[in-house]
């Protein structure tokens, strides 16, 4: 049996008194699945990922995370759910006074691992994402693409149950983009459920994964391939 890691039932989201940006969303992320989330700019991809991370609460409907109704969780329980999720959002959220190595090691430190236990893993992962030469650098000195890769390394280092990434290859060259995709695919192979928001059709076509697309606030399955063969996202 594959229980759902996250499921949405009739979810709607509005910001303040604005219009609903997501409406009647019903979806599930089965354990072990790999899902791409796509749709035009402003469609609501980041908003949907934030709902999955319980960083936003829906205006209506129900979100279930790891079997719990999110609306009924205490703050401490929400933190416990989030510790099972590796997340790469648009605003990177690296900690300014920690260097790259320390930022990436943080999820392991908070669960009590010692530096001797994790040091090699952190270094190898940073080498894999092309930051082997930037271990001691502080976030303020990194380029946008370097920050993004450090955030990705931090999101995956503790082998989370769920990985959520918002445009993870948006700032990197195609070769690094393919490497990152291989990293996500490998994590998925060993059990992590993955959800990636992207505009990048080439990325989506590299893997035989589920695709969800957001259009006009609603979530549909699959890419919208028109009769002419164009991909209408």
Ligand X SMILES: Nc1ncnc2c1ncn2[C@@H]1O[C@H](COP(=O)(O)OP(=O)(O)OP(=O)(O)O)[C@@H](O)[C@H]1O
Among 21, 106, 135, 223, binds ligand X (CB under 6 A): 21
Residue closer to ligand X by CB (options 107, 168) is 168
Binding mask 160-189 for ligand X (x = CB under 6 A): ------------------------------
Among 7, 31, 46, 59, binds ligand X (CB under 6 A): 46
List Cβ neighbours of 98 (8 Å cut-off, separation of 6 or more).
Answer: 106, 138, 139
Region of 42-50, 72-80, 96-104, 185-193 interacting with ligand X (CB under 6 A)? 42-50
38 binds ligand X (CB under 6 A): no
47 binds ligand X (CB under 6 A): yes
Burial class (CB in 10 A: 0-12, 13-18, 19+), 45: buried
Residue 137, CA distances (Å) to 104, 119, 151 in order:
12, 16, 14
39 binds ligand X (CB under 6 A): yes
CA–CA–CA angle 3, 35, 150 (5° rounding)? 110
Among 23, 27, 35, 44, binds ligand X (CB under 6 A): 44
Q: How far is the CB of 16 from ligand X (least distance, A)?
A: 6
Residue closer to ligand X by CB (options 103, 198) is 198
- Helix H or strand E segment including 206: helix 201-206
41 binds ligand X (CB under 6 A): yes
217 binds ligand X (CB under 6 A): no
Region of 2-10, 39-47, 139-147, 157-165 interacting with ligand X (CB under 6 A)? 39-47
List Cβ neighbours of 125 (8 Å cut-off, separation of 6 or more).
Answer: 104, 153, 156, 157
Residue closer to ligand X by CB (options 20, 77) is 20
Q: Which of 126, 162, 183 is nearest to 32 (CA)?
A: 162
- One-character DSSP codes across 27-67: EEEETT-EEEEE-STTSSHHHHHHHHTTSS--SEEEEEETT
Residues in contact with ligand X by the rule CB under 6 A: 15, 18, 21, 39, 41-47
């Amino acid at each position: 049996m594959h229980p759902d890691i996250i499921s949405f039932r009739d979810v709607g989201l509005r910001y303040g008194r604005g219009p609903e940006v997501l409406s009647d969303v019903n979806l599930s992320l089965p354990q072990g699945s790999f899902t791409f989330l796509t749709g035009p700019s402003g469609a609501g991809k980041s908003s949907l990922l934030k709902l999955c991370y319980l960083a936003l609460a829906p205006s209506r409907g129900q979100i279930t995370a790891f079997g719990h109704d999110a609306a009924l969780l205490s703050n401490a329980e929400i933190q416990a759910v989030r510790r099972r999720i590796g997340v790469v959002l648009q605003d990177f959220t690296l900690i300014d006074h920690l260097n790259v190595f320390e930022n990436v090691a943080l999820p392991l430190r908070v669960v009590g691992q010692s530096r001797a236990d994790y040091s090699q893993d952190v270094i190898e992962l940073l080498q894999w994402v092309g930051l082997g030469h930037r271990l001691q650098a502080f976030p303020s000195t990194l380029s946008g693409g370097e920050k993004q890769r450090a955030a990705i390394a931090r999101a995956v280092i503790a082998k989370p149950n769920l990985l959520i990434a918002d445009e993870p290859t948006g700032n990197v060259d195609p070769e690094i983009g393919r490497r990152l995709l291989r990293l996500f695919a490998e994590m998925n192979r060993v059990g992590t459920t993955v959800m990636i928001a992207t505009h990048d059709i080439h990325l989506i076509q590299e893997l035989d994964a589920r695709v969800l697309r957001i259009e006009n606030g609603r979530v549909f399955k699959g890419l919208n391939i028109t009769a002419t063969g164009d991909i209408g996202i």
